[in-house]
Amino acid sequence: MTRWLLHVDLDQFQAAVEFRRHPELRGQPVIVGGSGDPAEPRKVVSCASYPARAHGVRAGMPLKSALRLCPDGVFLAQDLATYAEASEEIMALLRTFPGRVEVLGFDEAFLAVDTDDPEQLAREIRAAIAELGLTCAVGIGDNKLRAKLATGFAKAVGKTGDSDTIRDGGTGIFRLTADNWTELMAHRPATALWGIGARIAKRMSAMGIETIADLAAADQELLAKEFGPNTGPYFWVLGHGVGDTDIAEPREPVGHSRSETFPTDLTELAEFDAAITELATQVAEETFAGGRSVGRVGVTVRTKTFFTRTKQRKLPQPTTDVDEVVRTALRVLHNFELDRPIRLLGVRVEFGA
């Protein structure tokens, strides 16, 4: 049998989870972010349903901008705990299939499988996820890079306005391998590759590299000179569609954190203390509920000018005392020069031995 990499990507995940508990919202332009109030400052869209995306709403844009683009949108508060539960449900389901699973985030994962019919396995995965009231696209590749990019083709099914869209007959499944790599990818911009963003692409453009074909034909020495001895040749490899053929073993988490960006800047010490106390309490309680102790406490401060710095303190010995974590977080906070308005505070703990 042949080794295949499958990339499973949940569609409009946070919105879809909301549809499970609010079926009446299906088909509507749902926008998830912040507290669900589009007038709330400094909050951004975390997920937009496909009808909302048709209005130009995208993840990461300010909620106020989303409201301007989609005034009839349904704005919902982000519920990370519920999304985490749904994600765990999906990942547990994926682990019931043959092969091994590498979780990439709330809404996507790789499977490494040995099979002669990856499309059939993909259909079974999609059917099982549909039983949970969610939908997904599955990209199939002979390595992780191609599997990840194949998902984009699978998701392109049914979309309009893009004459270059590849359709797969409406199955939500697509295979991208060495056999069709050049045909499907060579003419596309370098930014179509997983790992090349706008800034890197701009530097490539200055070298005369616009498309993936250009990148594949580029001089490796020139790439190394521009991007470094390791990164430059790596980009050349990406241009040829080469990637890992196995998945990474899951890493054991070493800590836990929470942060908050405030609707308006905090300016008083009492406000700083109250916010850190709440964050530290949440982090400590969640850590201890997972059966872990705390060995180190860190605090992150971001000022109005976006200056960001983190300080931390190691505890004399690991603790499971919430009050001790809070006291330590406050001591770390007070080591900062708190003379500027603060827009974000965060608390991170590292687990004890």
- Catalytic residue positions? 108
The Cα–Cα gap between 290 and 352 comes to: 13
Which token pair is 20? 């499970």
Q: How many CA atoms lie within 13 A of 171 on its CB side?
A: 16
Give me the amino acid identity at 87.
Answer: S
CA–CA separation, 51 vs 55, rounded Å?
7
Judge contact between 261 and 346, C-beta under 8 A.
no
Q: Could you give the angle at which helices 220-227 and 198-206 cross, rounded to 10 degrees?
A: 130
- 36 close to 76: Cβ distance less than 8 angstroms: yes
> Cα 277 vs. chain centroid, distance in angstroms?
28
Question: What is the DSSP pairing of strand 74-76 with strand 30-32?
Answer: parallel
E-state strands within 233-331: 255-266, 294-303, 308-319
Chain mean position to CA 15: 15
Question: Looking at 267-341, which runs of residues are DSSP E strands?
Answer: 294-303, 308-319
Helix (H, G, I), strand (E, B) or coil at 100: strand
Please name the helix (run of DSSP H) or strand (run of DSSP E) that holds residue 198, with its range, or none: helix 198-206
Q: Which helix (H) or strand (E) holds 348?
A: strand 342-351
Closest CA to 223 of 143, 187, 178, 214: 214
- Type of residue numbered 3: R
